[in-house]
Amino acid sequence: MALLEYGLMGLPVVATRVGQVPEVLKQGNWAWLVEPGNPAALRQAILEALCNPEQRAIRARAFQAHIEAHYSAPAVLQQITTAYADLLSH
């Protein structure tokens, strides 16, 4: 849930590849993703994010647009409405 909140707020993300995180972050296209249990890689990703404000902004904006399009209340409501319409049409 926190990941979705970060996206809605337009914040840059550094995360580990666990659970649905890679899927939500489109395999790292919108964030810095590292393997879990690798503190050196996590450190490097954080430093890269901190030292590259332009890349932070680009990734944060892209992630925000993705979250708004696929996980926001209006987007989820549309998905539910479509699912019910499909069920009722059969």
* Per-residue tokens: 11: 């914040």
Per the CB < 8 A criterion, the answer to whether 7 and 66 are in contact is: yes
Sort 72 into a burial class: Cβ within 10 Å, 0-12 / 13-18 / 19+: middle
pLDDT > 90? residue 33: yes
Q: How confident is the model at residue 71 (pLDDT cuts 50, 70, 90)?
A: confident
Sort 34 into a burial class: Cβ within 10 Å, 0-12 / 13-18 / 19+: buried
Whole-number pLDDT of residue 21: 93
Please name the residues in contact with 35: beta carbons below 8 A apart, sequence gap of 6 or more. 16, 17, 41
Whole-number pLDDT of residue 27: 78
Whole-number pLDDT of residue 87: 92
- The residue behind tokens 């810095």 is 32
The C-alpha atoms of residue 10 and residue 4 are separated, in whole angstroms, by 10
Domains of the chain (ranges, CATH numbers): 2-88 (3.40.50.2000)
Q: What is the pLDDT of residues 40-67, one digit of tens each?
A: 999 999 999 999 999 999 999 999 999 9
pLDDT > 80? residue 28: no
